[in-house]
Structure 1
């Protein structure tokens, strides 16, 4: 089973590389669920991955805003452009997701994003957990050429969705990768692995306090990738 870590800065990329993580999901604003990272951050992450001879290591989250996964035509245009930019910058893959107002997969939007990825890996993120028929959605994503899905099994935490994760893995039958993610703790990893999923995903964050930000600067604490948690997570993966 593989392990993916969500990171939001160059230091997090180094932590993941040093710990032997299989890949990263590169994000901004992880505290809000993650948004599209900047061009500079993508370039820095890709440079580190190339130096380590890990061409597929950087998977870029492409999400234009928080507040759900139903996008306007303008937002979709931006997302398609960001997927193309991530590919051009050397990312090994992108992480996307789009739904209709009825809560089903937006097949047209997803097809456009897969087309914009133009051969690099595509992960469909936890928008998967908002659909009423996840098994049917999985089959549709196979048909669109998506590489993997990220799911908590429809639960707030993956450990509480192991039944659906096992069902998704059985439904996938090797046609698409199933990655468990959402509230994953190190102590949950072995039980999640028992479902047969292909990978586990976690953020492995710790909060630190910075200098006083002042009025308008927001909270003076922020999250970083914890080397200790990442090492513990890697060690907890069966077969490592």
Structure 2
């Protein structure tokens, strides 16, 4: 079981590593759903531990639809992220109709050559998720899809996530379950969905709030629960 943890500061990266996390998703603007962090923060996160760092690339929070100007900014950000030694990027592009924007995605993937890629929860706004999953599986550089199975917290969509995970396993693309996961519900979620990767955000923080510090003990407890799960 792989545990990915959201970090918004270099101290979060250090705490996640201490707690036994396997990977970092680095973002800023978490109250807006996650935006591109500064290059200074990316460099700091990469240097803070040996954990692989996946960097959010999202220039604004208005939507997941991006103009040519937005895309030019994102492509430049991807180039800069590559230079920091980060492991990968986290992206997601939709058309105004709420479908996968393959043209924009392919532009980003060309710029990200050599990086590991996660398609983020823009996926959860797509109507036909199974078809979108099959489309994303066409791109070898996309390793995983972060999803809650829809707009509700992941524990409320376990059947959908299980079906996505089964199809993802068949196609060779991982389903990263996330949104609303914590030590109190992680065992049941993993048992019902069979996911191989989980994404922990506020569930790793004091009082379950991004305004509070990330606690290594919370990650350690999640790993213990998963390790001891029947």
Instruction: Using structure 1 for the length normalisation, give the TM-score.
Output: 0.87
User: How far 1:186 moved relative to its partner?
Assistant: 1.7
Pairs within 5 Å for 1:13-28: 13-28=13-28
How many angstroms apart in 2 are the aligned matches of 1:27 and 1:91?
13
SS of 1:224's partner is coil
SS of 1:87's partner is helix
* Contact kept? 2:7, 2:24, Cα under 8 Å: yes
* Contact kept? 1:7, 1:25, Cα under 8 Å: yes
How many angstroms apart in 1 are the aligned matches of 2:226 and 2:114?
29
Q: What are the ranges of 5 or more consecutive residues in structure 2 without an aligned counterpart?
A: none
How many angstroms apart in 2 are the aligned matches of 1:184 and 1:225?
14
Q: Are 1:205 and 2:195 counterparts?
A: no
How many angstroms apart in 2 are the aligned matches of 1:188 and 1:222?
22
How many angstroms apart in 2 are the aligned matches of 1:135 and 1:15?
36
Matched residue, 2:186? 189
Matched residue, 1:95? 90
How many angstroms apart in 2 are the aligned matches of 1:87 and 1:187?
37
User: How far 1:155 moved relative to its partner?
Assistant: 3.9
Q: Rate the CA distance shift 1:31–1:231 in 2: closer, same or farther, 3 A.
A: farther
SS of 1:81's partner is helix
Matched residue, 1:212? none
Matched residue, 1:227? 216
* Contact kept? 2:20, 2:216, Cα under 8 Å: no
* Contact kept? 1:207, 1:222, Cα under 8 Å: no
Q: What are the ranges of 5 or more consecutive residues in structure 1 without an aligned counterpart?
A: 209-220
* Contact kept? 1:155, 1:161, Cα under 8 Å: no
Instruction: Using structure 2 for the length normalisation, give the TM-score.
Output: 0.91
> Structure 2 residue aligned with 1:237, among 212, 218, 226?
226
Q: Are 1:179 and 2:168 counterparts?
A: no
How many angstroms apart in 1 are the aligned matches of 2:160 and 2:20?
28
Matched residue, 1:61? 56
Count of residues in correspondence between the two structures: 223
Q: Which runs of 4+ in 1 moved over 4 A?
A: none
User: How far 1:19 moved relative to its partner?
Assistant: 1.3
Matched residue, 2:133? 138
Q: Are 1:44 and 2:41 counterparts?
A: no
Structure in which a larger fraction of residues adopt helix: 2
